[in-house]
Structure 1
Amino acid sequence: MGDWDIIRSELDTAEHEQRVISDLTARIIATQFYDSQSSPLYALSSTGTITDDCVTEIRTAAEHATTPDEQRALGALIAYCTRRTDKGPQRHWSALRW
């Protein structure tokens, strides 16, 4: 199962269950869209940290998204980032695997 298969499956499940995406899915989506190691999405991808600029970077990525899957994934990532209360690094983050 590839990254986008996992993303689509989790998006479907999260929408059906009316919840935000999982930590793993947030990590996978962030990994798809960061463009450098200094970007907020890289921080999210590598440590789970949600910086003040994270949602701005996601919105910029959404403006350049070329497929409905990308738009949907980035929208779900914005919801995840705005609803997660602990914005700092996550201890378990490096153990998340796909």
Structure 2
Amino acid sequence: MSWYEGAEPGWLTIEVNPNTGKTSVEKVWHFEMNEEGITPLVKNADGAMVESTPNLVDVIRATPLEAAKIAAMYKLKAMADRATTQQQMDSISEASKFVMAWSASDR
């Protein structure tokens, strides 16, 4: 038997497509709990509550800025996994330093 709990503000899922590296962040609306564990539920395009896709890599509670940083770092990791030259790796390293330096005052 499952039961549902409304998610408190700030709960988000992060998904990364392993083929393209595309990263997305979705708001968690509810958690489904049963004998198998806890599943975050997000809204699909039709507004229905559904489980996240198989591309789910993280469920976090964060501010929008923290979530953006984490999603950007996952994107950079996917890029690093596909990088083939030292120049590409150096560029990814520089980008990661830029992402980590983001702060609320940059907005």
**TM-score with structure 2 length normalisation?**
0.34
Larger Rg: 2
Q: Which has the higher contact order (CA 8 A, sep 6+)?
A: 1
> Whose strand proportion is higher, 1 or 2?
2
Structure with more of its chain in helix, by fraction: 1
